[in-house]
């Protein structure tokens, strides 16, 4: 089954404690991205990757890091989480940035709370 898998689904952590949210897709997609969803703001892109070893900032990259060492995996790293990063996070993948007509597939989401 074609899917994007995120882990964990729920996470409560303390300010400053490094964490990683994993994302994996099994569709051989080139383009992957991370979004955060906040009430009234829709989804905003944090980082994206057009292919292996190619990553770039989205609209709200501050406080986040990503890596793309393999095509299928695109982890989101919070080196020193702060309460304003409490949010619902989604990983998404699509065929490529060139094929703009293709839809994106989303993971189930990770609800992060930073206290």
Partner 1 sequence: AQSVAQPEDQVNVAEGNPLTVKCTYSVSGNPYLFWYVQYPNRGLQFLLKYITGDNLVKGSYGFEAEFNKSQTSFHLKKPSALVSDSALYFCAVRASNTGKLIFGQGTTLQVKP
In the complex, the residues that contact partner 1 under the rule CB under 8 A are: 4, 31, 33, 35, 40-45, 48, 50, 56, 58, 90, 92, 94, 96-98, 100-101, 103-109
Shortest Cβ 83–partner 1 spacing (Å): 22
| SS3 (DSSP) at 55 | strand
Q: Is the peptide bond before 110 cis (omega within 30 degrees of 0)?
A: no
Contact 38, 6 (CB under 8 A): no
Shortest Cβ 56–partner 1 spacing (Å): 8
- Cβ proximity to partner 1: between 56 and 79 the closer is 56
- 21-38: b (≥16 Cβ within 10 Å) or e: bebbbeeebbbbbbbbee
Shortest Cβ 9–partner 1 spacing (Å): 9
- Cβ proximity to partner 1: between 67 and 106 the closer is 106
- Cβ proximity to partner 1: between 56 and 70 the closer is 56
Give the gyration radius of the chain's Cα atoms.
Answer: 13
């Amino acid at each position: 089954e074609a899917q994007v898998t995120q882990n964990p689904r729920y996470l409560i952590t303390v300010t400053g404690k490094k964490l990683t949210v994993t994302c994996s897709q099994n569709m051989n997609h080139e383009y992957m991205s991370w979004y955060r969803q906040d009430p009234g703001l829709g989804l905003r892109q944090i980082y994206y990757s057009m292919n292996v070893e190619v990553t770039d900032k989205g609209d709200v990259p501050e406080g986040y890091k990503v890596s793309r060492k393999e095509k299928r995996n695109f982890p989101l790293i919070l080196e020193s989480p702060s309460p304003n990063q409490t949010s619902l996070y989604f990983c998404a993948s699509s065929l490529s940035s060139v094929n703009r007509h293709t839809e994106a597939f989303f993971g189930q989401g990770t609800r992060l709370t930073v206290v």
